Chain A
Amino acid sequence: MTPNRTQIIPIGPYHPLQEEPEFFKLHVEGEKVVKLDIEIGYNHRGIEKLAEGLTYDQVPFLVERVCGICSTSHPFACVNAIEDVGGFDIPERAKYIRTFVGELERIHSHLLWLGLAGHFLGYNTVWMWAWKYREPVLDCFELLTGNRNHYAMFKPGGVRRDFEDEDLPTAMRILDGLERPLLMFAKIAMADPVLQARLKNVGVLTYEDCVELGALGPTSRASGVPWDVRRDHPYAAYDLVEWDVVTTENGDVFDKVVVRVLEMLESVKICKQCLEKLREVRDGIDANYKEIPPGEGIGHHEAPRGEVFHYVRSDGSNRPIRYKIRAPSFMNVPTNNRAVVGYTVSDATITLAAIDPCYCCTERTIVVDADSGKQLMGWKELLRLSQEKTRKLMEKYKSRMDRVWI
């Protein structure tokens, strides 16, 4: 093979496939992908550093903005981490509300992914239909939390708003109405021969690949790895309700669709149980903790894309001195190296999308020398660089900046 036989097909930094900036260099021979270069890091926002400047009450609002789709997963993990510092317990009603919001979000996120996956395959009808059935889910959010996407429900020690009793039957009706379309999607996926031709045995991740690379969420569960932090390390009300971890065996894109569709049905089940319990359990929604003691805490949440991990260190003041986020896409994006290589360009696009990537959650910055692998810049140098840049910008746009600050 001579080097000039391979051609580079760029996917990104701006590409209709994915709505965030990312860059996949597909080295192809004809249509076959022989090598993949992953370049992310176009959208680093410095959330962790920002978190150090905010109080514990404000941090959930900040981390909610990490991702627009799983916008409750980060606050969920965040409050788990903060509560872990002091070993706090929260009222049972707040637990059910948290679980309900987390699961309803999984439904809306998976439906969104399902629609996009259809779009990537040129199956725009699935796209529109999935998003049509996602609409009542968002309505349900608006009804119960007041917001369609960023719910701002979580606070350390409980939740911010209670569910009204008169809204619960409507929410129940919306959940009942979801079951039929979800079963329909399951049936479409199982029965459509063309869909199977496109998705079966495409982008296969084996059990070993998943374990080795630490793949998370539906990506690993489609390969038969039964990891689910909701069951393995229960928090909120996940140990108080009945549900199953969905796994399939083949690890191809088709199985990832199946896992997500079945997971949505499990989520409907959990949500319904939560609503039932919310009729009876009335022990308040907030434990009203005033002080966060010095110490460290970790928090998990099984986000729609996999386990979100938050770490917080407290020195006893009212704000964290170190905050650390690891989003699931950070673990899932490298699996593309196994799943994409060896298949065609057509397969590559749906495989890249099959991990349901969320790049802006994943972004982090480190400067290394590519040849030696030596780290050139660490936290302190990057911070200094950023502050210098800000200072330069402020001098350059001084007149405009003044207006912005006012």
Chain B
Amino acid sequence: MSIVQGIGYLVIGFLAAAIIGMFAHWFDRKITARVQWRVGPPFFQPVYDLVKLLAKEVIVPEGASRFLFLSAPLFGLAAVSVVSALLIRTVIFPQQTFLGDLIVVIYLLTIPSQAVILGAFASANPLASLGGSREMKLILSYELPFVLAILVPVIKAGETIKLGVILQHQATEGAVIASISGVIAFVISLICMQAKLAKVPFDVPEAETEIMGGAYIEYSGAALGLFKLTQWMMMFVVPFFLMMLFIGAVNWRQSWLNIVWAALIYIGILLFITLVRNTNPRLRIDQIMKFFWAKITPIAIVAVILAFLGL
């Protein structure tokens, strides 16, 4: 693969994630509004928001580490663009993936959260550092069950860590979700996704009414815009990643109708995220850690054992 091709994939990955992510954000806000007896924003509201934020002045607080403060949003954006490119390329050419791309994706998916932590501590604000430390605890909470849940499709597809193989296995043998361990792992990964996207009940790092936006408190203008864009792109990338692992994503070679089917599943997952976030209050960080470690992780381990037994 030449450099030009690589850059091409990156651009495609970025644009796809940005556009679908903006749609996801609008969908989230619209459904939320309808649940709450409100009208909701117009379709292009995320675009207006982003353009406005990009055009505004970036204020770097006194005492902040300027380089880290301004580069943190870029780290997150770069990582999520690479994941998006990788996933899209894998769906188009499942044979051409490299060994261990699954691990790379899991690794890159944590970078947006780490960028938030970095930016929070760089901004030298007590509320931001509280938000940063909460984000850190949040990662520690959900990452273990998330990886355990991902082990299930890995085992099902013949103990491979190649995303392409997992996809091809599902294209021929049926989706991972069609088994008991698959269902359990999928539900667990959905809950972990809610935490990864920092949505209620797991939105402790932002917690507007507690720590005023926490990690993002000092961010303004384009830097905030990039953080927001990263969040929206995550709303495409993470559900899409789960769809690849558990449902086989878009099996477009079989029939073009499968693309519509995949889009419907994606919207279903978005709906799940939105409804969960609208029917729950925010948990405390200690409650979240207890929830993930004491309740979700054992269930995830059971799912892995079931997968080993071939269920």
Contacts and interface: CB of A to CB of B under 8 A. Distances in A.
Interface string B275-291: 00011111111110000
Given A16-B212, A118-B281, A197 B287 contact: yes
A123 B126 contact: no
A194 B279 CA distance: 10
B250 interface: no
A187 interface: no
A346 B36 CA distance: 24
Interface residues of A, number: 32
Of residues B200, B204, B280, B281, which shows the largest number of chain A Cβ atoms within 10 Å of its Cβ? B281
B37 interface: yes
Nearest to B279: A125
A128 B278 CA distance: 11
Given A7-B126, A345-B210, A346-B207, A128 B279 contact: no
Nearest to B208: A16
A122 B278 contact: no
Contact of B281 (A30, A122, A129): A122
B126 A197 contact: no
B280 A123 contact: yes
A124 interface: yes
A220 B196 CA distance: 40
A15 interface: yes
Contact of A198 (B36, B133, B284): B284
Interface string B126-158: 110010010000000000000000000000000
Contacts of B200: 122-123
B36 A125 contact: yes
A122 B282 contact: yes
A287 interface: no
A121 B283 CA distance: 8
Given A7-B126, A128-B36, A346-B204, A17 B281 contact: no
B201 interface: yes
A346 B203 CA distance: 12
Contact of A124 (B36, B127, B284): B36
B305 interface: no
A312 to B, nearest CB: 39
A221 B133 CA distance: 37
Q: How large is the interface on B (under 10, 10 to 19, 20 to 34, 35 or more residues)?
A: 20 to 34
B37 A8 contact: no
Contacts of B204: 346
B127 A123 contact: no
B209 A16 contact: yes
A120 interface: yes
Contacts of B263: none
Interface string B190-217: 0000000000110110011111100000
Contacts of B211: 9, 345
B253 interface: no
Main secondary structure, interface of A, reads helix
Contacts of A128: 36-38
Interface in B163-209: 200-201, 203-204, 207-209
B7 interface: no
Nearest to B134: A31
Of residues A9, A10, A121, which shows the largest number of chain B Cβ atoms within 10 Å of its Cβ? A121
Of residues B209, B212, B283, which shows the largest number of chain A Cβ atoms within 10 Å of its Cβ? B209
Contacts of A127: 36
Contact of B282 (A7, A9, A10, A198): A198
Interface in B104-145: 126-127, 130, 133
B138 to A, nearest CB: 13
A194 B209 contact: no
A288 to B, nearest CB: 46
B99 interface: no
A129 B210 CA distance: 22
Nearest to B36: A128
B35 interface: yes
A349 interface: yes
Interface string B53-93: 00000000000000000000000000000000000000000
A351 to B, nearest CB: 11
A344 interface: yes
Nearest to B286: A344
Given A194-B281, A344-B285, 20 more contacts: A8-B126, A31-B286, A118-B281, A120-B210, A122-B200, A122-B203, A122-B207, A122-B208, A123-B281, A123-B282, A125-B278, A125-B279, A128-B38, A129-B36, A129-B37, A195-B281, A198-B281, A198-B283, A198-B284, A345-B211
8 contacts: A8-B126, A16-B212, A30-B133, A120-B210, A123-B200, A192-B281, A198-B287, A345-B210
